[in-house]
């Protein structure tokens, strides 16, 4: 199997507006005023859904013409082709039913404005999509070298510019957005993001004021810097495997402590009298007990497996699914 990435140029701006709608389109200014703008030379914020409908038409036509599978994310389109015994197009020793030119021929009447500087002009075994490098034969996903270098330089610049100096909300949002994307590759990084989000929240959406970055945030950025210095980081694209129920149960009580059951074995941990503190509540206990369970499972030699853990705290379950939470005590347990 091979894949090819296509990118639509100025995705939102090129989405056409019905002539009958133009006199009634309104834009909002920076200070909250509203203006009628019948021309809309730069497109509309709400055009994302409209443009997606156009891209959906592209995908539907391709599928009807035998071009599939196709993945779509906003203006990024990823088209695959699989080897065919009687395919007229040849590449790397395989035959296929269509190539790049034939694929575009099927949707030529739509006149899609494909970006010449982005995407790929032929099908590849190793391809980029939504900012990641996908190795199809090797079943691996990684961060492209240029992206890794870009994010590393972004963090280093922030540390140099704002260590002990004031920064704006925009400075924080930029680096937080980049790291949210990077956390798809660096899974442990999820729990190193809340300090940035908590600091951004302290601005109360005021883009004009400045604040000093807290120590916790700079510590997390230093961790990210070290992670992005590592080379050849990739994740295997393999199924999780069958879900195994080994009889793993956890529970917590604020009046006594926490308990763990692993099959026929169990463990109890009683709380110290002064355990409770701001941020330490029942949700922290329910997360802590899963952390302790993980240590037991590690000592049992269990690895690379998919296990069912029974917990009755939905907040803890959701937090562990996300891999992060603003609460620093719970976040430390996720660490």
pLDDT tens, residue by residue, 174-227: 999 999 999 988 988 999 999 999 999 999 999 999 999 999 999 999 999 999
List b or e across 17-28, with b for residues whose CB sees 16 or more CB atoms inside 10 angstroms.
eeeeeeeebeee
Q: For residue 31, what pLDDT is reported?
A: 83
Q: For residue 322, what pLDDT is reported?
A: 87
% pLDDT > 70, the chain? 96
DSSP per-residue codes, 112-158: --B-SSSS-SS-BSEEEETTEEEETTTTEEE--HHHHHHHHHHHHHH
Q: How many angstroms separate the CA atoms of 59 and 79, rounded?
A: 9
Range in 46-60, 160-174, 207-221 the model is least confident about: 46-60
Q: For residue 44, what pLDDT is reported?
A: 59
Considering only CA atoms, which of 2, 8, 7, 235 is closest in space to residue 127? 2
Residue 42 has pLDDT above 60, yes or no: no
Q: For residue 59, what pLDDT is reported?
A: 94
Q: For residue 48, what pLDDT is reported?
A: 63
Contact 40, 25 (CB under 8 A): yes
Contact 303, 266 (CB under 8 A): no
Residue 115 has pLDDT above 60, yes or no: yes
Residue 105 has pLDDT above 60, yes or no: yes
Q: For residue 45, what pLDDT is reported?
A: 60
Residue 123 has pLDDT above 60, yes or no: yes
Considering only CA atoms, which of 7, 231, 6, 3 is closest in space to residue 127? 3
pLDDT band at 19 (very low <50, low <70, confident <90, very high): confident
pTM: predicted TM-score of the whole model, two decimal places = 0.80
List, for residues 6-18, the tens digit of each pLDDT value.
999 887 777 767 7
Contact 292, 261 (CB under 8 A): no
- What is the pLDDT averaged over residues 297-315? 94
Q: For residue 74, what pLDDT is reported?
A: 81
List, for residues 229-287, the tens digit of each pLDDT value.
998 889 999 888 899 999 999 999 999 999 999 999 999 999 999 999 999 999 999 99
Q: How many angstroms separate the CA atoms of 161 and 320, rounded?
A: 33
Considering only CA atoms, which of 133, 123, 96 is closest in space to residue 237? 133
Q: Give, in order, the Cα–Cα distances in Å from 152 to each of 119, 177, 221.
A: 24, 14, 10
Joined together, the tokens standing for residue 54 give 């156009």
Q: For residue 47, what pLDDT is reported?
A: 59
DSSP per-residue codes, 157-186: HHHHHHTTS-B-HHHHHHHHHHHHHHTTT-
Averaged pLDDT score across all residues of the chain: 91
Residues 6+ apart with CB under 8 A from 261: 247, 248, 249, 250
Residue 49 has pLDDT above 70, yes or no: no
Q: For residue 41, what pLDDT is reported?
A: 56
């Amino acid at each position: 199997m091979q894949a090819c990435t296509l990118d639509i140029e100025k995705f939102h701006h090129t989405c056409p507006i019905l002539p009958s709608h133009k006199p009634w389109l309104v834009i909002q200014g920076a200070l909250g005023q509203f203006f009628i703008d019948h021309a809309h030379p730069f497109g509309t914020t709400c055009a994302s859904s409209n443009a997606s409908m156009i891209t959906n038409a592209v995908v539907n036509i391709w599928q009807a013409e035998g071009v599939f599978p196709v993945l779509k994310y906003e203006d990024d389109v990823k088209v695959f082709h699989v080897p065919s015994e009687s395919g007229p197009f040849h590449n790397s020793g395989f035959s296929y039913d269509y190539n790049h030119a034939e694929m575009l021929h099927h949707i030529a009447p739509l006149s899609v404005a494909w970006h010449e500087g982005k995407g790929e002009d032929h099908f590849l075994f190793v391809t980029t999509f939504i900012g990641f490098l996908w190795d199809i034969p090797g079943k691996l996903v990684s961060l492209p070298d240029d992206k890794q270098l870009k994010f590393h330089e972004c963090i280093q610049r922030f540390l140099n510019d704002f260590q002990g100096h004031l920064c704006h909300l925009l400075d924080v949002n930029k680096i937080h957005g980049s790291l949210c994307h990077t956390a798809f590759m660096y899974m442990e990084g999820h729990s190193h993001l809340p300090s940035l989000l908590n600091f951004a929240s302290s601005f109360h959406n005021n883009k004009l004021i400045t604040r000093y970055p807290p120590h916790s945030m700079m510590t997390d950025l230093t961790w990210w810097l070290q992670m992005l210095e590592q080379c050849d980081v990739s994740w295997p694209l393999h199924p999780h495997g069958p879900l195994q129920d080994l009889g793993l149960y956890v529970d917590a009580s604020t009046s006594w402590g926490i308990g763990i059951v692993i099959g026929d074995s169990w463990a109890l941990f009683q709380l110290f009298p002064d355990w409770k503190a701001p941020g330490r509540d029942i949700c922290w206990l329910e997360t802590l007990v899963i952390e302790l369970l993980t240590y037991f499972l590690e000592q049992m030699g269990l690895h690379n497996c998919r296990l069912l853990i029974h917990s009755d705290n939905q907040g803890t379950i959701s937090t562990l699914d996300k891999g992060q939470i603003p609460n620093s005590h719970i976040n430390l347990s996720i660490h």
